[in-house]
Amino acid sequence: MDTLTHAVLGLAVAGLSGQPISLHDPIYIASFLGAQAPDFDIIAQLNGRFAYLRQHRAFSHSLPGILMWSLLISLGMFCFMPTVTFLSAFFWAFAGSVSHIIIDYFNTHGVALLWPLRKTRQSTQLLNVFDPFLLCLISLLYSLDLSIQQTSLATFSIIGLYIMLRAVWRNRAKASLIRYFNHCQIKRLLIMPSLQSILLWDFILETPEHYLVGKMNLLYTLPQIAIHLPKNGFSDIVHFATKTPLGNYFSTSSPFIYFEESKEKDATKIKMYDLRYLLKEEFVHCATVLFDDKNKPYDSYMLSEGKKISVPF
């Protein structure tokens, strides 16, 4: 989720202690830092944008990762704040980190909780990375005449109810899609929040012959198909492309990748599309790997949110 949502959750975690909100209270400091810590992997951008994309939501958002962040936070506080006990700081930093991982698990990008045993990012696909409605709802609680513990409990209750409501909405959308496509042999069906509105769901439907990418409105029962992609046969070079650093990243970060193979003079171009993110009939994330006439990769790059990122081998 976004930084502000994680910050509010960090305050809510610390509020469970019953202590009034204070920027000088070690409980709030530890919980707030813990709630932000998994995103400290932004430092990976020092090695380039791709290094950050490959790392983000991997180790830093895993169980070993949050244990490391909690240990670093508690050690730092123990060294620079003489009144702080190590175990207390570790507990609240860990609790804040857990809140970060849990809410990120419910949004579209997911987390690699069991890294390195399982590097694929897991997600329930119920929330967008930024949900302004949810953020406003839990932020407004702090304007009410509630005790800090009541505010914290209300925060987690609202988040839980909102997630359950989103799950009900998605199940309705799923049932409508299955009815609408009852003439198809559905192999896989992914439904996730739209980038455009909280009232929309994006979907990817796979059959033996094609992929259908479209949208589903909560207020209407008929889906809107945006793109129809036929499945084509490919040479072994597509398999080679998935073994490159860029191809491996796409394979572990998205469950739905579409491949296009084309010839350009003495080169073969393999394009990979992450079908999950469609905006204005364009895929937000696209990767390209180029092979020479001996089937050796010599260049690769990706387009992410309109920016070109070169990826070395």
Q: Which of 191, 212, 230 is the last residue of a domain?
A: 230
**Whole-number Å distance between alpha carbons of 53 and 110:** 13
Instruction: Clarify whether residues 125 and 55 are in a common domain.
Output: yes
**Whole-number Å distance between alpha carbons of 225 and 202:** 10
Instruction: Clarify whether residues 288 and 202 are in a common domain.
Output: no
Residue 150 domain boundaries: 3-164
Q: Which of 191, 211, 230 is the last residue of a domain?
A: 230
Letter string b/e over residues 45-84, b meaning 16 or more CB atoms within 10 A of that residue's CB:
eeeebbbbbbbbbbbbbbbebbeebbeebbebbbeeeeeb
Q: pTM for the complete prediction?
A: 0.90
- Give me 210's structure tokens: 């094609």
Instruction: Clarify whether residues 246 and 225 are in a common domain.
Output: no
Instruction: Clarify whether residues 187 and 288 are in a common domain.
Output: no
Q: 205-236 pLDDT, tens per residue?
A: 999 999 999 999 877 768 999 999 998 877 88
Q: 75-131 pLDDT, tens per residue?
A: 999 999 888 999 999 999 999 999 999 999 999 888 998 888 888 888 999 999 999
Instruction: Clarify whether residues 204 and 152 are in a common domain.
Output: no
Q: Is residue 175 part of a domain?
A: no
